[in-house]
């Protein structure tokens, strides 16, 4: 029986399955193929990204291979003949040796193997020679640039996609002898390093959108290698096993939108049915099967319509058809924990439930690229003189947070930017400034090993989640920051307390920044000893924000527009985010400052917690929150003793709980 590249199942059985348990995926494939029939293909290489050619050719070729229907073949050949007629693949930047060329090389190589039995010798030679030419260009560039650029940027999507394309070319032409084997061995050596270096917890610093764009190719390559050579990275790589959970926990409660740390071009470009179904098949993961089904059945076309990332989710259909295993039983997410800590990236996710209108709070503070990457980057630099600091999708977002509740975003991130800045995140500014070397594409290329953020504390109980992030080492050196600590206290009652403690060797003005989709209304009167109360109203979701600066401060509302070109191949194509910004700044310079904020999200048709007051006494400040039966006090003291209402606690930060006026317990957060 004919051995087809990338197809790891009996071809005759698969031809039956497309009318049985894979029928809906064949329908998806057919729908996608019909979109190609009406596409006008340019005679000259267009001045745009041409990644879409690769999957179009693969989709049409697989449809023909499984059905033997001539119209699929004829359309596949129209696309193939067009793309091999181009002298070069790619536009404007790294022509022939980057993403457009790699996507096409991958799709064309699979198609060559699947269709070559239909061709006469002349046709086969034309396609073969084009694959050889493009693979040689890719391989030569990889060798010549070893040690810098995508060739050894082991954590970046360009490396994964380009080497997968090269590997596919090598396997499709393996009968030619040593040269194609050189390509496959090059890819194998590269990915052996990649899978060894990736975060074991599955987190990805590039963000959810680049995860779906780039990490998909880790699964594609691992599948290709397993099918061709029997080498199984799915059994070896903790990243492959765990990264689905990074994606799931970075889904907003409605599961359609994503939490957009890192580079995320929009809020609906984050799903990859290819990854979901491959994860489900390899690990018998019912949660991944459930999300894959949900995307195909509910989210697919809205994401395709609103996504700014091309070629997008629809062309993944041939991966879906091949990767889907009907034997995996979907499993409901309600069985999963509500809190997830990705230690490598310094990412904490808190959900109030798995309901679609739940509260979702995401907090991030860690080393550039994650702890493992940051350590290995320096190891490669010191042992091999490799410059792998390709962190252009990492933002200066240590100690930042994103909040989604009651169906809408309440605190947002810039999402995608070519000149990333601290001020575009929900963070602290010092004299209006942020991280060292910010306001460029790759902030971290000249950082030193100690210039990182870190989560100092993460504790979880039934009542509270407590996190402390420290990021003083990443701020501009001339600011002489000693501490930039952000304390987060999440209560199962649905509110979040944010305490910022700032200290420098010199005097500064300190600013507390938060961005949202809407501007708040300020409550003018003094509200229970708070400096400010702000009321956000955003459709079905609302949030009250109570502000308590430790020093005199002024409030400013502004609009911040972030506009960024999406690809250098299409300089006129950009995305834009409009953020409504609040800035609470101390009015006088000082060496230290302290801010306390209480975030109280609630649905529009319900009342928020309305018994919240500020505590300001000699040596301590805090928050009192009262409900019908319970009184909770969050108190921070200048000394290491909290003394309040006849209770003395040996702690710097503590929570005191009372029920009907009677003291019940104390939670020491920081001693």
Per-residue model confidence as pLDDT tens digits over 99-146:
999 999 999 999 999 999 999 999 999 999 999 999 999 999 999 999
d(C-alpha 434, C-alpha 421), whole Å: 7
Q: pLDDT category, 1, cuts 50, 70, 90?
A: confident
Q: Is the preceding omega at residue 503 within 30 degrees of 0, hence cis?
A: no
d(C-alpha 27, C-alpha 569), whole Å: 33
Nearest C-alpha neighbor of 204 from the set 163, 157, 162: 157
Indicate if the pLDDT at residue 164 is higher than 90: yes
Average pLDDT, the chain: 94
HEC string for 39-84: CCCCCCCCCCCCCHHHHHHHHHHHHHHHHCCHHHHHHHHHHHHHHH
Nearest C-alpha neighbor of 416 from the set 207, 160, 159, 156: 207
For residue 646 the two structure tokens come to 């006849």
Q: pLDDT category, 265, cuts 50, 70, 90?
A: confident
For residue 200 the two structure tokens come to 């074991």
H-type alpha helices, 257-402: 273-283, 286-294, 300-306, 317-323, 371-384
Output the pLDDT for position 537.
96
533, 598 Cβ separation under 8 angstroms: no
Query: Around Cβ 27, how many Cβ atoms within 10 Å?
Result: 13
Nearest C-alpha neighbor of 251 from the set 392, 396, 370, 354: 354
Query: Which range is least confidently modeled, 325-339, 462-476, 542-556?
Result: 542-556
For residue 574 the two structure tokens come to 């950009």
Cα dihedral 221, 226, 231, 232 sign: positive
The pair phi, psi for residue 62, each rounded to 5°, is -65, -40
For residue 179 the two structure tokens come to 């040269």
The CATH classification number of 339-610 equals: 2.70.98.70
Count how many residues are written for the chain. Answer: 671
List, in sequence order, every residue forming a beta bridge with 387; answer none if it has no partner: 148
The average pLDDT across 260-276 equals 92
Query: Around Cβ 218, how many Cβ atoms within 10 Å?
Result: 26
State the chain's maximal CA–CA distance in angstroms.
93
**Helix, strand, or coil (residue 228):** helix
For residue 239, give the H/E element and its range: helix 238-249
Cα dihedral 153, 131, 58, 312 sign: positive
3-state helix, strand, coil in the chain (%, to 5): 35, 30, 35
Indicate if the pLDDT at residue 605 is higher than 80: yes
Output the pLDDT for position 130.
98
Query: Around Cβ 87, how many Cβ atoms within 10 Å?
Result: 9
Rg (CA), the chain: 27
428-430 and 400-405 as β-strands: parallel, antiparallel, unpaired? unpaired
d(C-alpha 1, C-alpha 453), whole Å: 56
The average pLDDT across 229-256 equals 98
d(C-alpha 167, C-alpha 423), whole Å: 42
**Helix, strand, or coil (residue 494):** coil
- Those residues whose C-beta lies under 8 Å from the C-beta of residue 382, and which sit 6 or more positions away, are none
For residue 296 the two structure tokens come to 């195909």
For residue 188 the two structure tokens come to 């194998």
Output the pLDDT for position 528.
82
d(C-alpha 262, C-alpha 425), whole Å: 11
Q: pLDDT category, 477, cuts 50, 70, 90?
A: very high
Give the DSSP letter of residue 299.
I
Output the pLDDT for position 79.
98
d(C-alpha 107, C-alpha 165), whole Å: 8
pLDDT tens readout for residues 182-216: 999 999 999 999 999 999 999 999 999 999 999 99
Output the pLDDT for position 640.
77
Vertex 566 angle, CA 563 and 568, to 5°:
115
d(C-alpha 293, C-alpha 276), whole Å: 9
d(C-alpha 275, C-alpha 268), whole Å: 16
Output the pLDDT for position 352.
97
Nearest C-alpha neighbor of 136 from the set 94, 96, 192: 96
613, 632 Cβ separation under 8 angstroms: no
Give the DSSP letter of residue 176.
G
Nearest C-alpha neighbor of 17 from the set 302, 321, 220: 321
Q: pLDDT category, 607, cuts 50, 70, 90?
A: confident
Please state which architecture CATH assigns to domain 201-336: Alpha/alpha barrel (1.50)
Highest mean pLDDT among 12-26, 565-579, 602-616: 12-26
Q: Estimate to the nearest angstrom the gap between the alpha carbon of 5 and the chain centroid.
A: 31
List, in sequence order, every residue forming a beta bridge with 404; answer none if it has no partner: 360, 409
Number of H helices and number of E strands within the chain? 17, 24
List, in sequence order, every residue forming a beta bridge with 440; answer none if it has no partner: 420
Identify the CATH class of 13-197: mainly alpha
pLDDT tens readout for residues 447-475: 999 999 999 999 999 889 999 999 999 99
d(C-alpha 331, C-alpha 289), whole Å: 7
407, 360 Cβ separation under 8 angstroms: no
d(C-alpha 343, C-alpha 508), whole Å: 32
Q: pLDDT category, 524, cuts 50, 70, 90?
A: confident
Whole-model pTM: value is 0.96
């Amino acid at each position: 029986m004919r051995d087809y590249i990338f197809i790891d199942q009996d071809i005759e059985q698969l031809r039956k399955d497309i009318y049985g348990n894979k029928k809906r995926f064949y329908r998806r494939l057919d729908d996608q193929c019909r979109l190609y029939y009406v596409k006008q293909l340019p005679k000259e290489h267009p001045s745009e990204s041409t990644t879409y050619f690769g999957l179009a050719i693969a989709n049409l070729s697989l449809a023909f291979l499984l059905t033997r229907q001539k119209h699929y073949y004829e359309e596949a050949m129209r696309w193939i003949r067009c793309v091999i007629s181009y002298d070069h693949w790619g536009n404007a930047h790294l022509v022939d040796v980057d993403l457009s060329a790699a996507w096409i090389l991958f799709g064309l190589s699979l198609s060559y193997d699947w269709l070559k039995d239909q061709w006469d010798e002349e046709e086969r030679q034309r396609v073969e020679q084009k694959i050889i030419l493009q693979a040689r260009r890719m391989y030569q560039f990889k060798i010549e640039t070893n040690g810098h650029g995508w060739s050894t940027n082991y954590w970046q999507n360009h490396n994964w996609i380009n080497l997968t394309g090269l590997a596919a070319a090598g396997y499709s032409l393996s009968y030619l002898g040593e040269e194609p084997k050189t390509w496959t061995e090059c890819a194998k050596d590269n990915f052996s390093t990649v899978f060894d270096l990736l975060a074991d917890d599955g987190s990805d610093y590039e963000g959810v959108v680049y995860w779906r764009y780039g990490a998909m190719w880790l699964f594609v390559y691992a599948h290709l290698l397993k099918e061709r050579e029997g080498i199984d990275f799915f059994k070896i790589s903790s990243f492959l096993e765990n990264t689905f959970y990074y994606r799931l926990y970075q889904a907003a409660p409605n599961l359609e939108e994503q939490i957009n740390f890192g580079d995320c071009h929009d809020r609906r470009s984050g799903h990859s049915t290819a990854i979901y179904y491959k994860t489900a098949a390899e690990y018998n993961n019912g949660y991944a099967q459930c999300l894959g089904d949900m995307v195909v059945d509910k989210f697919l076309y809205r994401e395709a319509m609103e996504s700014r990332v091309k070629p997008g989710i629809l062309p993944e259909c041939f991966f879906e058809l091949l990767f889907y295993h009907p034997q995996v039983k979907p499993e409901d997410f309600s069985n999963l924990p509500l809190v997830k800590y990705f230690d490598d990236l310094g990412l904490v996710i808190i959900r109030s439930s798995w309901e679609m209108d739940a509260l979702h709070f995401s907090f991030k503070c860690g080393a550039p690229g994650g702890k493992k990457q940051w350590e290995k980057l320096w190891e490669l630099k010191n042992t091999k003189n490799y410059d792998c600091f390709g962190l252009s999708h990492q933002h200066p977002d240590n100690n930042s947070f994103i909040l989604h509740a009651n169906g809408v975003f309440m605190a947002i991130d810039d999402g995608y930017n070519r000149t990333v800045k601290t001020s575009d995140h929900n963070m602290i500014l010092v004299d209006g400034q942020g991280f060292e070397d910010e306001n460029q594409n790759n902030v971290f290329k000249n950082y030193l090993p100690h210039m990182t953020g870190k989560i100092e504390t993460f504790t979880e109980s039934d009542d509270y989640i407590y996190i402390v992030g420290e990021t003083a080492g990443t701020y501009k050196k001339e600011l002489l920051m000693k501490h930039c600590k952000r304390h987060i206290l999440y209560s199962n009652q649905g509110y979040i307390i944010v305490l910022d403690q700032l200290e420098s060797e010199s005097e500064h003005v300190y600013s507390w920044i938060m961005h949202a989709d809407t501007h708040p209304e300020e409550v003018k009167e003094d509200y229970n000893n708070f400096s400010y109360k702000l009321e956000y109203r955003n459709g079905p979701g609302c949030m009250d924000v109570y502000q308590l600066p430790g020093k005199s401060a002024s409030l400013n509302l502004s609009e911040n527009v972030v506009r960024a070109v999406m690809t250098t191949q299409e300089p006129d194509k950009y995305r834009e985010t409009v953020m409504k910004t609040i800035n609470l700044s101390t009015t006088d310079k000082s060496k230290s400052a302290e801010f306390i904020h209480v975030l109280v999200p609630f649905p529009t048709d319900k009342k928020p917690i309305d018994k919240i007051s500020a505590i300001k006494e000699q040596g301590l400040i805090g928050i009192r929150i009262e409900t019908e039966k319970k009184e909770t006090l969050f108190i921070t003291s200048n000394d290491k003793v909290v003394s309040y209402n006849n209770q003395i606690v040996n702690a710097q930060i503590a929570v005191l709980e009372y029920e009907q006026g009677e003291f019940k317990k104390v939670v020491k957060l920081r001693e």
